């Protein structure tokens, strides 16, 4: 029986391994982590991450050919294929601070693999890593190998949170990079055989190591660039009276461009886009390509601009101050159908409003108070470390309350910010909400999900990103 082990039971390691276990009943899959609470949660009824369809997959395989454990060394030593899906945070200190990837967790995983291995292994990079990481890992493994043969593969993960299970069941492609030696090709084949259990072979792309590593960074940079492109257009739409949804629709009809990923919003978030672009920027700079680095840096700058612009709209339209005013925040996760808050634009919007002394009442169907308080008090980039190693703020922010219902959040509020496109926010009883709010009552829709005409009819002053402005907002400055 082939044994697979995955180091890192996070958003990537958990779902990917659960799907491998489901699709390959003859493979034994162990997912290991240094975080005891995470492993306990994977072994309980309340899984540590929310992802539609994940519960069913885990329930079908757990205890049969899928195991979650903190006994990292035992499972690594027994495995034929070891996936590494640990955190790759952005460095906050030293060389490359604020841009380069911090490979501390990766390196310690590689050293541990070398220490405990007693048989040949294929080591698979599942985490997103800078180009040429495989070379570094290979060096660590071979210099400590005691005669054991390690083959390194790059197999970046393209799943999107919120649709992870669907994406894993039917991936657009699976990418496997390896050495162009006979041993390297053999390792590629072994991993291809795993995926071929359910992925059509023409969707499994095999490349060299560096192409696979760079393709992942490039794909995320392209995706984020689309969002920044449409968001840049949204600012121009507001200035000119065009409607960004109509522009996106017209532009997306061009088959060379396509309709997906063209929704204007308060900005992109999630653990990957910003981090991967910063990483790409750093690699470009290290390779003497400042023009290329600056090109990609601009994608992040527009994203930051969009969040600042949104906060400025709120403050300026509420008589230039939100001091002491209650603002309801609907949605905190970085997108719907996930409880993930890493790099969510809600953090910057909330911090911006708190900077102007607002009182916030936050509701998200999948994010609890502890997480929100942690996110609002944590320093930039600190989130990307194993849970038990994250610095915790000693006190919570008093001006922030977290409630479990949109109606409680909006009661007596002066304004509402919609920051995540949860379906339930489309069908709220906005008349009831309006009746219980201070007047004038504002809605700032950061996801363009609200029915603007209906809300205006009720009496709300509405700001919708990239849409013709409410007369109230027309003369208010929106620039960052």
Q: Provide the annotated active-site residues.
A: 272
Question: Are the C-beta atoms of residues 85 and 12 closer than 8 Å to each other?
Answer: yes
Q: Which of 5, 9, 168, 409 binds ligand NAI (CB under 6 A)?
A: 9
Please identify, using beta-carbon distances, which residue of 334 and 425 lies nearer to ligand NAI: 334
Q: Tell me whether residue 157 is annotated as binding.
A: no
Which tokens sit at 240?
């000119």
**177 in contact with ligand NAI (CB under 6 A):** no
Cis peptide bond prior to 440, omega within 30° of 0: yes
Question: Are the C-beta atoms of residues 251 and 217 closer than 8 Å to each other?
Answer: no
Q: Tell me whether residue 9 is annotated as binding.
A: yes
Which residues, other chains included, contact 108 with Cβ-Cβ below 8 Å and sequence gap of 6+? Answer: none
In the complex, the smallest distance separating the C-beta of residue 404 from ligand NAI, rounded to whole angstroms, is: 24
Question: Beta-carbon neighbour count of residue 28 at 10 Å?
Answer: 20
In the complex, the smallest distance separating the C-beta of residue 438 from ligand NAI, rounded to whole angstroms, is: 39
Q: Which of 28, 51, 102, 161 binds ligand NAI (CB under 6 A)?
A: 161
Q: Which of the stretches 2-10, 147-155, 259-267, 410-418 binds ligand NAI when contact is defined by CB under 6 A? A: 2-10
Handedness of CA 145, 150, 154, 158 (dihedral sign): negative
Q: Tell me whether residue 8 is annotated as binding.
A: yes
DSSP 364-409: -TT--HHHHHHHHHSPTTTTSS-GGGS---SS--TTEEE-S-HHHH
Q: Tell me whether residue 366 is annotated as binding.
A: no
Residues 342-371, interacting with ligand NAI (CB under 6 A):
none
Phi, psi (degrees; rounded to nearest 5) at 27: -105, 135
In the complex, the smallest distance separating the C-beta of residue 121 from ligand NAI, rounded to whole angstroms, is: 16
Please identify, using beta-carbon distances, which residue of 49 and 437 lies nearer to ligand NAI: 49
In the complex, the smallest distance separating the C-beta of residue 461 from ligand NAI, rounded to whole angstroms, is: 36
**12 in contact with ligand NAI (CB under 6 A):** yes
Q: Tell me whether residue 104 is annotated as binding.
A: no
**86 in contact with ligand NAI (CB under 6 A):** yes
**108 in contact with ligand NAI (CB under 6 A):** yes
Question: Are the C-beta atoms of residues 6 and 31 closer than 8 Å to each other?
Answer: yes
Spatial distance between the Cα atoms of 220 and 208, rounded to a whole number of angstroms: 19
Spatial distance between the Cα atoms of 252 and 262, rounded to a whole number of angstroms: 7
Q: Which of the stretches 157-165, 178-186, 254-262, 438-446 binds ligand NAI when contact is defined by CB under 6 A? A: 157-165
Q: Which of the stretches 86-94, 192-200, 291-299, 465-473 binds ligand NAI when contact is defined by CB under 6 A? A: 86-94
Spatial distance between the Cα atoms of 38 and 58, rounded to a whole number of angstroms: 15
**223 in contact with ligand NAI (CB under 6 A):** no
Consecutive H or E run containing 250: helix 244-252
**167 in contact with ligand NAI (CB under 6 A):** no
DSSP 275-316: HHHHHHHHHHHHTT-HHHHHHHHHHHHHHHHHHHHHHHHHHH
Please identify, using beta-carbon distances, which residue of 248 and 265 lies nearer to ligand NAI: 265
**88 in contact with ligand NAI (CB under 6 A):** yes
Please identify, using beta-carbon distances, which residue of 102 and 238 lies nearer to ligand NAI: 102
Consecutive H or E run containing 40: helix 36-42
Lay out the site mask for ligand NAI across 303-342 (x = CB under 6 A, - = otherwise): ----------------------------------------
Which tokens sit at 232?
């840049």
Length of the chain: 480
Q: Tell me whether residue 5 is annotated as binding.
A: no
Q: What number of chain residues touch ligand NAI (CB under 6 A)? A: 27
Q: Which of 77, 245, 271, 373 binds ligand NAI (CB under 6 A)?
A: 271
Question: Are the C-beta atoms of residues 87 and 384 closer than 8 Å to each other?
Answer: yes
**127 in contact with ligand NAI (CB under 6 A):** yes
Handedness of CA 152, 189, 185, 148 (dihedral sign): positive
Spatial distance between the Cα atoms of 153 and 208, rounded to a whole number of angstroms: 9
Q: Which of 227, 272, 277, 465 binds ligand NAI (CB under 6 A)?
A: 272
**35 in contact with ligand NAI (CB under 6 A):** yes
**20 in contact with ligand NAI (CB under 6 A):** no
Q: Tell me whether residue 306 is annotated as binding.
A: no
Packing angle between helix 290-317 and helix 209-240, nearest 10 degrees?
40
**128 in contact with ligand NAI (CB under 6 A):** yes
Spatial distance between the Cα atoms of 424 and 421, rounded to a whole number of angstroms: 8
Which tokens sit at 289?
């390509």
- At 6 the three-state DSSP class reads strand
Question: Are the C-beta atoms of residues 345 and 333 closer than 8 Å to each other?
Answer: no
Pick from 75, 52, 61, 50: nearest CA to 21: 61
Q: Which of the stretches 154-162, 234-242, 312-320, 326-334 binds ligand NAI when contact is defined by CB under 6 A? A: 154-162
Residues 368-397, interacting with ligand NAI (CB under 6 A):
386
Footprint of ligand NAI (CB under 6 A): 7-13, 33-35, 38, 72, 85-88, 105, 108-109, 127-128, 157, 159, 161, 271-272, 386
Q: List the binding residues for NAD(+).
A: 8-13, 33, 38, 86-90, 127-128, 161, 272-275, 342
């Amino acid at each position: 029986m082939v044994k697979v082990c995955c180091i890192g039971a996070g958003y990537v390691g958990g779902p990917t391994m659960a799907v491998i276990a489901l699709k390959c009943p003859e493979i034994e899959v162990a997912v290991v982590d240094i975080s005891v609470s995470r492993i306990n949660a994977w072994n309980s009824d309340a899984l540590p991450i929310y992802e539609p369809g994940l519960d069913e997959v885990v329930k079908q395989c757990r205890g049969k050919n899928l195991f979650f454990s903190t006994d990292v060394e035992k499972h690594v030593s027994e495995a034929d294929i070891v996936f590494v899906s640990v955190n790759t945070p952005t460095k906050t200190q030293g060389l490359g601070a604020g841009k380069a990837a911090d490979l501390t967790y990766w390196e310690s995983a590689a050293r541990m693999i070398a220490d405990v291995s007693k048989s040949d292994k294929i080591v698979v990079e599942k985490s997103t890593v800078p180009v040429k990481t495989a070379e570094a890992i290979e060096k660590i493994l071979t210099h400590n190998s005691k005669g054991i043969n390690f083959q390194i593969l790059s197999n970046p993960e393209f799943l999107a949170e919120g649709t992870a299970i669907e994406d894993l069941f039917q991936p657009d492609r699976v990418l496997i990079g390896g050495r162009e030696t006979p041993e390297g090709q053999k390792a590629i084949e072994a991993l291809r055989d795993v995926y071929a259990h359910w992925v059509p072979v023409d969707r499994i792309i095999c490349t060299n190591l560096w192409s696979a590593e760079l393709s992942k960074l490039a794909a995320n940079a392209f995706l984020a660039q689309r969002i920044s492109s449409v968001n840049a257009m949204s600012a121009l739409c507001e200035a000119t009276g065009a409607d960004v949804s109509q522009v996106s629709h017209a532009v997306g009809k061009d088959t060379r461009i396509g309709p997906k990923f063209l929704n204007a919003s308060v900005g992109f978030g999630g653990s990957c886009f910003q981090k991967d672009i910063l990483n790409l920027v750093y690699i470009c700079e290290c390779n003497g390509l400042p023009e290329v680095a600056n090109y990609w840096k601009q994608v992040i700058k527009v994203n930051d601009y969009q969040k600042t612009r949104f906060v400025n709209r709120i403050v300026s339209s509420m008589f230039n101050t939100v001091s002491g005013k209650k603002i309801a925040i609907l949605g905190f996760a970085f997108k719907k159908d996930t409880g993930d808050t890493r790099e969510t634009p809600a953090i910057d919007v909330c911090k911006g409003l708190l900077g102007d002394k607002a009182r916030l009442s936050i509701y998200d169907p999948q994010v609890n108070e502890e997480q929100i308080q942690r996110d609002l008090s944590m320093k930039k980039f600190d989130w990307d470390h194993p849970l038990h190693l994250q610095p915790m703020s000693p006190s919570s922010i008093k001006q922030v309350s977290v409630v479990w219902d949109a109606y409680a959040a909006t009661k007596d509020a002066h304004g509402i910010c919609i920051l995540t496109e949860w379906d339930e926010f489309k069908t709220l009883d906005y008349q009831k909400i309006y009746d219980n709010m201070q007047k004038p009552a504002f809605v700032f829709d950061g996801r363009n999900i609200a029915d603007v005409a209906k809300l205006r009819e009720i009496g709300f002053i509405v700001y919708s990103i990239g849409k013709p402005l409410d007369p109230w907002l027309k003369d208010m400055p929106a620039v960052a």
